[in-house]
């Protein structure tokens, strides 16, 4: 089937331009995420570069050979920069300019400037270099990226492999073959245009999807995070604690609930001001985090009330953890030594079962039993019931 190269060029230019405008629109109106701005710049650079490269039969070789390819290489650099910024790294201006500078330097060599095969090879290898750098950005950031980036990485690798193949197989399309689809050079050039259109559409869609997924994760995290202390809020605790209890029940393990309430918190606010109260809340959240294991669940579930769910933990161990938290918090020097204290109620699934609401309710009974007995103490539900029986 004969392929009309000018038509394919016109379609590719239209696709690049439209995708560039849509990507910049998404950046401006929705997210203000810089990767989309760089990616939109890449697409518009590809539009201009393709227009200039197609300026082949007008006797001004410097436009398609030098200027057009420089702009296309700057587009490849912007593509790399978009992913580099997405994974959290700063743009590299020297890296962005390196491809264009190398191309300009090579064009100063007459033998290179007049050899189409050499130019195709050099341009393809520079594009491969940017493709490798782009893939490496994903690989470096794979541990902290929480979004699905593998489809984008696969697309980038396929794009890079294509240009690696082109560097050793394509001899270039001569000007007198530009309207023909019968020669091998025209066929490869047509395939390259198709590949470029697919890549631009694919990477645009995938990057926008990753940006939106990360934004949704940030909103979800914000909805589950206490803004003052930075730990989970009540909603997060209830969600994760229910999952933890279900896992403990399935494994037949005992779990322990610790309900903590800062003592005399209103007096602290009234005497030293709300900033001191906020400082105490943050300090206790840090003490709690340091006292718990990574797999334990904790959160601020009320004003000065915190809850912890310890998996694979019996009553004795839970009391030891609670005592460590109480002592550490009481020894903090702010706002004055000996002023801070916390009361903690402890209950385990052994006596209360695996229902979260019941655990919280009975831990609350133990907590207020500790308050009634003078505060700044740890009390288990079992101890509370024994004391009530003795009385």
What are the start-end ranges of the E strands in 137-229? none
Task: Report pLDDT for 176.
Answer: 47
For the stretch 319-338, pLDDT in tens is 999 999 999 999 998 877 77
Chain Cα centroid distance, residue 175: 46
98 is a domain residue: yes
At 351 the three-state DSSP class reads helix
Q: Are residues 105 and 204 in the same domain?
A: yes
Count of structural domains within the chain: 2
CA dist 390 → 9, 250, 379, 385 (Å): 92, 36, 16, 9
Average pLDDT, rounded, for the chain? 90
For the stretch 272-300, pLDDT in tens is 899 999 999 999 999 999 999 999 999 99
Which CATH number characterizes residue 28's domain? 1.20.1070
For the stretch 137-175, pLDDT in tens is 999 988 888 889 999 999 999 999 999 999 988 776 554
Q: Are residues 145 and 35 in the same domain?
A: yes
For the stretch 19-40, pLDDT in tens is 999 999 999 886 678 999 999 9
Task: Report pLDDT for 182.
Answer: 46
46 is a domain residue: yes
Over range 111-124, report the average pLDDT: 92
Of residues 30, 137, 253, 304, which has the active-site annotation? 304
Q: Are residues 261 and 200 in the same domain?
A: no
Let me know how long the chain is. 391
pLDDT level of residue 380 (50, 70, 90 thresholds): very high
Residue 335 near residue 347 (C-beta atoms within 8 A): no
Q: How far apart are CA 145 and CA 85, in angstroms?
A: 12
Structural domain span for residue 52:
5-223
228 is a domain residue: no
Task: Report pLDDT for 181.
Answer: 47
Packing angle of the helix pair 150-169, 116-140 (nearest 10 deg): 160
Q: Is 365 among the catalytic positions?
A: no
pLDDT for residue 43 is more than 60? yes
Task: Report pLDDT for 387.
Answer: 73
- Domain boundary residue, one of 168, 203, 223: 223
Packing angle of the helix pair 184-223, 5-26 (nearest 10 deg): 10
For the stretch 323-379, pLDDT in tens is 999 999 999 988 777 789 999 999 999 989 999 999 999 999 999 999 999 999 999
Task: Report pLDDT for 7.
Answer: 83
Q: How far apart are CA 379 and CA 145, in angstroms?
A: 43
């Amino acid at each position: 089937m004969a392929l009309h190269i000018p038509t394919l060029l016109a379609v590719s230019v239209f696709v690049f331009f439209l995708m560039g405008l849509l990507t910049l629109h998404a950046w401006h109106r929705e997210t203000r995420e810089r990767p989309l701005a760089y990616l939109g710049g890449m697409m518009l650079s590809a539009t201009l570069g393709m227009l200039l490269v197609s300026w082949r039969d007008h006797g001004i070789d410097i436009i398609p050979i030098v200027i057009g390819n420089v702009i296309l290489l700057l587009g490849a650099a912007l593509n790399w920069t978009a992913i580099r910024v997405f994974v959290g790294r700063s743009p590299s201006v020297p890296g962005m300019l390196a491809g264009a500078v190398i191309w300009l330097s090579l064009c100063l060599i007459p033998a290179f400037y007049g050899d189409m095969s050499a130019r195709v090879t050099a341009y393809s290898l520079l594009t491969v270099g940017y493709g490798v750098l782009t893939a490496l950005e994903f690989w470096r950031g794979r541990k902290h990226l929480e979004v699905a980036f593998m489809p984008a990485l696969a697309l980038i690798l396929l794009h890079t492999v294509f240009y690696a193949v082109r560097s050793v197989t394509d001899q270039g399309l001569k000007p007198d073959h530009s309207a023909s689809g019968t020669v091998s050079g025209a066929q490869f050039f047509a395939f390259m245009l198709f590949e470029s259109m697919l890549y631009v559409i694919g990477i645009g869609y995938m990057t926008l999807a990753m940006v939106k997924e990360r934004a949704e994760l940030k909103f979800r995290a914000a909805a589950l995070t206490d803004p003052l202390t930075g730990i989970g809020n009540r909603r997060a605790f209830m969600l994760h604690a229910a999952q933890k209890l279900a896992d403990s029940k399935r494994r037949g393990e005992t779990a322990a609930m610790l309900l903590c309430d800062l003592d005399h918190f209103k007096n602290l606010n009234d005497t030293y001001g709300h900033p001191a109260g906020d400082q105490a809340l943050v300090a206790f959240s840090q003490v709690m985090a340091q006292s718990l294991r990574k797999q334990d669940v904790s959160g601020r579930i009320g004003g000065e009330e915190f809850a912890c769910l310890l998996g694979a933990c019996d009553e004795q161990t839970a009391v030891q953890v609670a005592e460590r938290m109480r002592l550490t918090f009481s020894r903090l020097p702010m706002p004055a030594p000996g002023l801070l204290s916390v009361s903690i109620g402890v209950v385990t699934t052994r006596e209360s079962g695996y229902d979260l609401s019941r655990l919280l309710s009975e831990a609350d009974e133990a907590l207020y039993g500790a308050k009634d007995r003078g505060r700044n103490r740890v009390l288990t539900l079992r101890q509370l019931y024994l004391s009530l029986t003795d009385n």
